[in-house]
Structure 1
């Protein structure tokens, strides 16, 4: 195994742009480290192309008119990670106990390579041992059938295809529950709740072509350079034609500052850069409501003055009158808002907010792009609603170049919800499912991620089946969750590589290796195709052609079908085995359940750019109870959910550009100048001085949640960084240990990882 050493950390400012030669060097380093075969280079050429495979990393849309190399640095890393020739065979587990492996780093566990055989945990030796697929499925069925369905959780990762997701959700409902937490619960559930309440749809309203029609973009809490780098091409094009890009983000992220296009020979040869943000405002973590309230206050007051003077209005009153509800209450709250409180909470000067408001007032079509910097707060839903408030003021929903653009993470996390992966009955056509499959579907709300964590800790959850992911590492309350996990009667983990969740077995535990999306999936009818949905509601086919990592791997649909056959009584209306034989039959079933979204599903698979599932809000049809788009008066100016206090900081957990969610590709966060370590605490230089600390000092963070529980993360290196006073940055998932399970967004239950109350300890 090739290791990256972390015993000599280097921290120094990075001076280059996003993209450019830095991206090229990063790829040149990771490809040989993963020992990829020549086949991997062939697959990179096919990545995100109409007849190729869809990236296993982020969900940024795939263009109909693609680049020669339609992948970014992060996407190429994900492909190399999946197509590595390194292997974790049964021989590895003969040499290592799980207790020993818990001392390994996340990177080293996954870097050891692809899993090759189904495995069972043997408590007597504290090791995994190889078993047959039949033995594994039989034991899983024997463990699940006697359990109360309410005590079983079926978790799924956002990488899972539409086909496997549909089967998985159906299996859970036939089993008798809707305990279907997924990646969305951890990131964009605040979007799903907030947008649905405000405009009647739970997803964004823009498409890739809207970048060609906007004249201003407002960015909130999204690090494009690390989390959706292919968007930089669209942003670069916007800047070339004079689009204003106004960014609100606590940290100065390089991808939002400047970019060199690696696919432009002239830019690479001349080191030319494109400035991305025309304004960059370092709002305090949790201060976005206040910042947006300040912008709205300027707009409303300018509009009041214009109307009084008989001049053209600033707001779109015709749109507001015809299409919205609640404007009078919202505008009254805006007028009454105190400037002192606004500026204190957002941490920005008044003239910066005024400059942003002037750009917004001038623009004819505005896109609002945001990420987890808005959704992962206690008031995350209100953050999303404030974005909508701003858009509604000037009619910026339902016209070209305008609308809300939430940037999803995992490549199919949005699509899973479309085909039934949800704990909420109202989001699923249960009557259609009942008629289609001849059963009585559960109506009781299932467990989401936070509720699943509660259930694991208090013992009410008895079994956990994970279709991908690294749940135990991704969720809050790490110590309590790791302590409670071994009390589960059953833990089933379907995965491609070893991760930390797999090192905490239940009483019965199986680790089931599956095919990756890039690998060829051959069933009885021949090679199969799967589908995913991107952030803009476009659905794409994905055809894997790479040689599977092991002859013993099964596809996700095959694994789901095998478990379903073991835990469910025979049902003449559900032929699981036939579905696995030909995935087109699964798509036919999806079309029957969701005919409006998936009409002619199999015929439209390879539409360049994907086929769009539609969005009523883009037609200005509002599927809200009032049949209008609804303004919301926020409950306060802070999204943190806690008060400031002396010595209390707002911790933001961050991802480096050498990771994707819990997957760590390496120890080089190039854009932040950190190499060889992830034990870093980013601090404002004035806060370092006031706390009596010095650069390079090793400190700990302690939770300051006022709940009487001790949570601590040791060994962090104090590092000066451009971050607002009173705010800290440290890496996810290592600092999840500091986050209480009850520190989550109201309504949506998203863990509030972007403003965690902590104190610094020596």
Structure 2
């Protein structure tokens, strides 16, 4: 495979400009020119992004305000739109010119750069090429293969982009067929949230809305690169900072978005010579995986402040009324915190006691606190404990279920949270299966299905024989890349429903199909009527989305149409689902979702086009705790140890955290520049602490191979990476996802949630000889 570089001489220059500002504007103009999209109509399209009556961004899932700004999109959201509406086409002529074995040598960036897929294709092994196939033939052949296979051996994966309507039909199709194997993007990022929050507060999602951000007087950020992964959130952070609210950030890397920001929404701010708004009042670079220790230190400081207040006869720091009325498990949690040793807290977190005590003092004075977090908390062996410890910190002071306060897991992909809401899950207890059986006259399989890690295990051991993929680039997004890609070709069936070419298409199974679909921005007309779809954002609000761009090809079909045609071909006589009726009018799919989930979707069709969307029924937002004991639970961690089953004491072992550049979204790489980190022209770089470099005999000119430090008989290795000194805690290093997924063992995941522990991977560096 070609190297992920676009120059022989990559450069590394400190980037000291604010996030946003002219850097974002320049980047968008350059990307528009590269796609041949400088026409004014493109900017008219962007003007509809995240607006009432417009389309919802296909990039991040951050909230969409009822009163949008003039430009309600960020740099990465605009790049995602440009990526989708590109005039470039990956058509039948392209596939006629290239063999699959040749395309396997291309980079991920170059594959997707070919443009939109236009024609249904089938792989011909005798030619080593994809050849066109009629839609009817493809549906018939895929159905025949599926009906000749054990349903438990087939996986129905869905990426986070698919709309609620599509997702609901997709899971019904899979279950009618006989499979609960419904992994999705959430398995790889926020499953630690989906497992951890219900145990703590009885909700699988966050408790805050955009209105709470307007009212808060303090924010925490743990493990989230907001400037790259949810840039529109920076507007709310900036507004909070301007009204004097402290923002305290914990992250191993200093990320520009939570350091300085200039809003492109404000011309005077853009034209001013200053550095923009200081976004974090305090920024602490803790060790990879040091979060539980750091939060324990903050809690310990809060207990000490509460002790002092009680002795002085002053108002208590703890919210005892809230704890007594609403919580369970506080006494055990208090014993754990008070019994924790400050030396151990400092050693495991990498932070000084004074800094954590300062944080406790700031927190103790605030009245309305929001705690934001990302995959820096969830992608660890103890990801669930990280999430629950952050809940503990909020519960201590009653910062849950009141205006301006609560927990805010920042989801990544645009509708991955919503897909879980309407049934995309491998867990039977998370769906109204009895209703499905009653409504549609079929029997839901009762066995737990495969999640992402378990699907990969099945691919490797051969028990998974078919993979039907609604979007995404599965093999690049998952850990253990080498073993998964090798085993993928041994499967019987590989179906890819996609907008663009990616590496997953090139790993040909015995029967492999590419089914090109419309994107969210494109006009979806069914039965002569333009159809709306809907998505859920990170704040659990449901929004309408209407595409108006002409489809990339007359041959492509909408995602709902493809799902319906596959279902009709495969399970037509196995249920009473009115597939054709739903396809002709998507509002009837929404009626069916409301029927199955009446609490969350009451008045769905009447409400989903409301500016700002409508909020789901989140009990914890109202201090209704839908846990087994009816209380919000303090859940005490076992220890601070991030990797309990790996020896990382050796001096030459580093902990790797994978990161994204600001020129990518998930596995989609828009270019080779990471402007906010000053990396230009390469993704083949390992960012290291300078003291570690000296200790290991490395310089900025060194080239290294990287191997996983694990004694399990599997060699995991990537080659010829550049070393570069970076401001990262000693013993830690960083490099780009998804290329470094090859180093993440499949078993190295959250112990109950199975989220790949990509934020703390033990590795060794092997210095290469000079050429």
TM-score range, shorter chain: over 0.9
Partner Cα separation in structure 1 for residue 396 and residue 101 of structure 2:
57
Match among 255, 258, 261 for residue 259 of structure 1: 261
Partner Cα separation in structure 1 for residue 511 and residue 551 of structure 2:
28
Q: Which residue of 2 aligns with 1:666?
A: 671
Check whether the contact 1:20–1:271 (CA below 8 A) recurs between aligned residues: no
Q: Which residue of 1 aligns with 2:727?
A: 722
Q: Which residue of 2 aligns with 1:687?
A: 692
Match among 745, 748, 751 for residue 756 of structure 2: 751
Cα shift readout 1:213-232 (whole Å, capped 9, x = no counterpart): 11110100000100000011
Partner Cα separation in structure 1 for residue 647 and residue 384 of structure 2:
19
Shift of 1:309: 4.1
Q: Which residue of 2 aligns with 1:440?
A: 443
Check whether the contact 2:5–2:684 (CA below 8 A) recurs between aligned residues: no
Match among 399, 402, 406 for residue 402 of structure 2: 399
Shift of 1:535: 0.4
Q: Which residue of 2 aligns with 1:417?
A: 420
Q: Which residue of 2 aligns with 1:158?
A: 160
Partner Cα separation in structure 2 for residue 456 and residue 11 of structure 1:
39
User: Mean alpha-carbon deviation: is it higher for 377-386 or for 348-357?
Assistant: 348-357
Match among 467, 470, 492 for residue 473 of structure 2: 470
Q: Which residue of 2 aligns with 1:651?
A: 656
Residues 1:31 and 2:32 aligned together: yes
Q: Which residue of 2 aligns with 1:430?
A: 433
Partner Cα separation in structure 2 for residue 33 and residue 431 of structure 1:
51
Secondary structure at the aligned position of 2:611 is classed as coil
Q: Which residue of 2 aligns with 1:227?
A: 229
Secondary structure at the aligned position of 2:512 is classed as strand
Provide TM-score, normalisation by structure 1. Answer: 0.99
Q: CA RMSD in A?
A: 1.1
Check whether the contact 1:524–1:581 (CA below 8 A) recurs between aligned residues: yes
Q: Which residue of 1 aligns with 2:190?
A: 188
Check whether the contact 1:438–1:573 (CA below 8 A) recurs between aligned residues: yes
Partner Cα separation in structure 1 for residue 99 and residue 10 of structure 2:
29
Residues 1:735 and 2:736 aligned together: no
Cα shift readout 1:290-342 (whole Å, capped 9, x = no counterpart): 00000011111222333344332211111111111111001001111011111
Q: Which residue of 2 aligns with 1:75?
A: 77
Closer, same or farther in 2 for the Cα pair 1:59/1:129, shift >3 Å? same
Partner Cα separation in structure 2 for residue 339 and residue 476 of structure 1:
35
Partner Cα separation in structure 2 for residue 299 and residue 320 of structure 1:
15
Q: Which residue of 2 aligns with 1:47?
A: 49
Shift of 1:95: 1.2
Check whether the contact 2:181–2:450 (CA below 8 A) recurs between aligned residues: yes
Q: Which residue of 2 aligns with 1:587?
A: 590
Check whether the contact 1:343–1:350 (CA below 8 A) recurs between aligned residues: yes
Check whether the contact 1:163–1:587 (CA below 8 A) recurs between aligned residues: yes
Secondary structure at the aligned position of 2:417 is classed as helix
Partner Cα separation in structure 1 for residue 185 and residue 390 of structure 2:
22
Check whether the contact 1:4–1:666 (CA below 8 A) recurs between aligned residues: no
Check whether the contact 1:288–1:639 (CA below 8 A) recurs between aligned residues: no
Check whether the contact 1:383–1:639 (CA below 8 A) recurs between aligned residues: no
Partner Cα separation in structure 2 for residue 572 and residue 10 of structure 1:
59
Shift of 1:247: 0.2
**Which residues in structure 2 correspond to 1:570-649 (within 5 Å)?**
570-571=573-574, 573-641=576-644, 642-646=646-650, 647-649=652-654
Check whether the contact 1:6–1:667 (CA below 8 A) recurs between aligned residues: no
Secondary structure at the aligned position of 1:626 is classed as coil
Partner Cα separation in structure 2 for residue 240 and residue 627 of structure 1:
39
Secondary structure at the aligned position of 2:735 is classed as strand
User: Mean alpha-carbon deviation: is it higher for 168-177 or for 308-317?
Assistant: 308-317
**Which residues in structure 2 correspond to 1:14-413 (within 5 Å)?**
14-36=15-37, 38-272=40-274, 273-413=276-416
Partner Cα separation in structure 2 for residue 314 and residue 114 of structure 1:
57
Check whether the contact 1:18–1:258 (CA below 8 A) recurs between aligned residues: yes
Partner Cα separation in structure 2 for residue 569 and residue 495 of structure 1:
24
Cα shift readout 1:393-445 (whole Å, capped 9, x = no counterpart): 00000111100000000100000000000001111011111111011111211
**Which residues in structure 2 correspond to 1:448-597 (within 5 Å)?**
448-571=451-574, 573-597=576-600
Cα shift readout 1:155-201 (whole Å, capped 9, x = no counterpart): 00000000000000000111112100000000000001000110001
Partner Cα separation in structure 2 for residue 94 and residue 525 of structure 1:
34
Partner Cα separation in structure 1 for residue 662 and residue 678 of structure 2:
11
Closer, same or farther in 2 for the Cα pair 1:743/1:275, shift >3 Å? same
Closer, same or farther in 2 for the Cα pair 1:700/1:393, shift >3 Å? same
Check whether the contact 2:5–2:683 (CA below 8 A) recurs between aligned residues: no
Check whether the contact 2:442–2:574 (CA below 8 A) recurs between aligned residues: no
Check whether the contact 1:74–1:657 (CA below 8 A) recurs between aligned residues: yes
Check whether the contact 2:432–2:596 (CA below 8 A) recurs between aligned residues: yes
Residues 1:712 and 2:713 aligned together: no
Shift of 1:4: 8.2
